[in-house]
Amino acid sequence: MMNASMDRDARAVLLPAFDRLDVMDVMAPFLEKGGCSVLIGESRAEYVARAMSAERLDQETPEGFRAAIAVLRAASPRLIVAVDQELGGIQRLQGLVPPLPALDEAHALAGDVLAERCRTTAAAARDLGVSMFLAPIADIIDDRNPWLEARTMGTCPQAVARLVAAFVEGVQAAGITAVTKHFPGFNSLSADPALADVSLLTSRARLLQDALPFRAAIEAGTKAIMTGPAPVAAIDADNAASTSPAVMAMLRQDFGFTGLIVSDDLDAPATLRGRSLAETAVASLNAGADLLLVGGGPHLDALCEDIAAAARDGRIAPGRLAEAAARVRRNAAGE
């Protein structure tokens, strides 16, 4: 019985990402064995372009998107369906829901008006079957950062904090979980962590100064926070934020966050740092992450078996996997 529970918990803590809608070939067995999350993402080309492709915009319709999600929900009624829907950045639901305000317009709007605009977008997304936005981006960028270029909301912490709070309030009023990212904030990176093993070298004092938008998100009630994909040298030079006990402790203890912690992409070179994906997943769970973002594919079953085995033989701290899975399931249930 305990082994079966661990097997299901190992699937509950994974957020597999796909760049297509027809995912039941992989997701059906994953959901049947305990999985309860999926990220309907974008292609690498769309990610780089910060926009959906002409082909996708031509082929996808609200009806088709809704139908694809309905198939998934038939297999798992309490299902987290996540998308990137960023204010000023990537919008996976481009062409499918009313757009979020352009960044210049968002800065000019009163907070309550901006929140209502975000609520309208989120309500339409909810109607499609979506339940989670991997947004808002709370990072303050004041230097070179190819990873977050053309995705962030400004260089002034106070101004970005205002937008972050309005976004969180608006989308969550529509029943969508806001995942504020990427804690503790990455103001300057020399390369994209998804392509290179790179670290943030900013001082701790500057990190705390730039972290105001995260505090605003927590005060606004954000249900989830995503940690970053690269090491933060001032806190933990050896581990990416998404595998760092020190970063997780900072978020829980110093910032007082009690909700769902979501890792960034564990497949990123700056997160893997020479380890296997299974080793990285175990490290992320032990650090304190609850929901682990990974690429979707046939490897999911083996990854889940490795996570369950780590829980059984003590490589994952006792109770940690069950705690993470329970937190994910509460979110999936709308709590």
What span, in angstroms and rounded, lies between the C-alpha atoms of 18 and 7? 22
Residues contacting residue 208 through CB under 8 Å, at least 6 positions apart: none
Q: What would the two tokens of residue 55 be?
A: 């082909």
Architecture of domain 2-332: Alpha-Beta Barrel (3.20)
* Domain residue ranges in the chain: 2-332
CA dist 160 to 63, 88, 156, 271, 299, Å?
Answer: 34, 11, 6, 26, 38
* pLDDT at position 320: 97
Dihedral through CA 184, CA 188, CA 191, CA 195, nearest 10?
A: 10
What span, in angstroms and rounded, lies between the C-alpha atoms of 189 and 199? 7
* pLDDT at position 3: 72
pLDDT in tens, the chain (335 residues): 557 799 999 999 999 999 999 999 999 999 999 999 999 999 999 999 999 999 999 999 999 999 999 999 999 999 999 999 999 999 999 999 999 999 999 999 999 999 999 999 999 999 999 999 999 999 999 888 999 999 999 999 999 999 999 999 999 999 999 999 999 999 999 999 999 999 999 999 999 999 999 999 999 999 999 999 999 999 999 999 999 999 999 999 999 999 999 999 999 999 999 999 999 999 999 999 999 999 999 999 999 999 999 999 999 999 999 999 999 999 999 98
Q: DSSP states of 220-240 as a string?
A: HT-SEEEEPSSEETTTEEEEE
CA 199 to chain CA mean position, Å: 20
Q: DSSP 3-state assignment of 324? A: helix
What span, in angstroms and rounded, lies between the C-alpha atoms of 140 and 149? 11
CA dist 182 to 17, 125, 254, 317, Å?
Answer: 17, 22, 16, 25
Q: Residue type for 306, please?
A: D
What span, in angstroms and rounded, lies between the C-alpha atoms of 268 and 283? 14
* pLDDT at position 2: 59
* pLDDT at position 9: 97
CB 81 within 8 A of CB 130: yes
* pLDDT at position 143: 83
Cβ count near 106 (within 10 Å): 21
Our CA angle for 317, 319, 322, nearest 5°, is 120
